[in-house]
Amino acid sequence: MSVHEAAYHADGSLVGKLRRRIARLRHRRPVLRAPDRPMLSISFDDAPLTAAGIGAEILEQWGARGTFYAAAGLAGHFEPVGQCADRDDYLSLAKRGHEIGCHTFSHLDCGRASAQSAKADVALNAQAFRDWGLPPADSFAFPFGDVSSETKAGLAPDFAILRGLHEGVIQEGSDLNQAPAVGILGPGGETKARRWMQYALSKRSWLILYTHDVQTSPSPWGCTPDALARLLRSAADLNFELVTVREGAARLTL
């Protein structure tokens, strides 16, 4: 069974929501200073081939690089977001300056897994990166955005930044161990992303956008190439600094 057959959403039960909320209050790594100018990152979760292909090309046309969150266990698999990228795609992306981040090996739900099994799954992904010839991942995205206090504490020491899926911008005081992000998802995704860009600008903060597939008829978790290109044009017009997630985190912690 596909790891994504159930849904891309986090555990939507009250218990799941409370677990994520409580985790947000604990094991924090607060940002100590605001960015010098507003920053924008574009990330692609699960890295379908369309993201590694046309998605990366659109970013490159704007002189930008993206962050691709890879679960090596999904490599080459067909998922609801399309076929996932494989070793050669990731190597090509890395060679062109894109960041390959960690998304666990098996697309593990870190809200329900023990800290021990989450760490073991992340270690498997790190081993796959080494076998493929990729550099170690500096950033991490929780699959489904789901997280518990225990897995957060267990994984935080291994990464410069860990990203969730709750909406928000990153500014002084924000938590790099459970950083917010805004989805470019489905038909309303572009409009929502644009609104958050305006907000990020007004707060001189850092906005991480995420999507999955990039194709003319995207899945409910993806966007069209045109939408992505228009958002990048807006980012340039609004004078955002386009950074990978790794670069963004480094700006705020160095």
Region near Zn ion per CB under 5 A, out of 94-102, 141-149, 170-178, 238-246 = 141-149
Q: Hey, which residues does 211 pair with through a beta bridge?
A: 44
Stretch that binds Zn ion, among 138-146, 169-177, 192-200, 239-247 (CB under 5 A): 138-146
Name the residue nearer to Zn ion (CB basis): 31 or 84: 84
CB of 236 to Zn ion, least distance (A): 28
Burial of 90 (0-12, 13-18, 19+ CB in 10 A): buried
CA dist list (Å): 79 to 3, 28, 197, 223: 8, 33, 29, 16
CB of 231 to Zn ion, least distance (A): 20
Which residue's Cβ has the minimum distance to Zn ion?
45
Q: Are 3 and 137 within 8 A, CB to CB?
A: no
Binder of Zn ion out of 35, 38, 111, 143 (CB under 5 A): 143
Number of residues that bind Zn ion (CB under 5 A): 3
**Which DSSP state fits 145?**
G
The residue among 144 and 240 lying less far from Zn ion, judged by its C-beta, is: 144
- Residue 210's DSSP bridge partners are 43, 183
| Nearer residue to Zn ion within complex by CB, 40 or 102 | 102
The site string for Zn ion over 207-246 (x = CB under 5 A, - otherwise) reads ----------------------------------------
Least distance CB 198 / Zn ion (angstroms)? 27
154 forms part of the interface with Zn ion (CB under 5 A)? no
Minimum CB–partner distance for residue 20 and Zn ion (Å): 16
Q: Which is nearer to Zn ion, 102 or 160 (CB)?
A: 102
Lay out the site mask for Zn ion across 10-49 (x = CB under 5 A, - = otherwise): -----------------------------------xx---
Site for Zn ion, residues 43 to 82, rule: CB under 5 A: 45-46
Q: Residue 104 region, left (φ>0) first, then alpha (ψ -120 to 50), else beta?
A: left
Rounded Cα–Cα distance for residues 209 and 57 (Å)? 17
- Identify which of residues 16 and 38 has a Cβ nearer to Zn ion in the complex: 16
Cα separation values, 65 from 59, 111, 183, Å: 6, 30, 18
Best CA proximity match to 34, nearest among 201, 233, 237, 246: 201
* Choice between 142 and 206, CB closer to Zn ion: 142
Strands 67-70 and 99-102: parallel
**Closer to Zn ion at the Cβ: 45 or 175?**
45
Q: Mention every residue, 6+ apart, whose C-beta is less than 8 A from residue 80.
A: 2, 4, 5, 8, 219, 221
Binding site for Zn ion (CB under 5 A): 45-46, 143
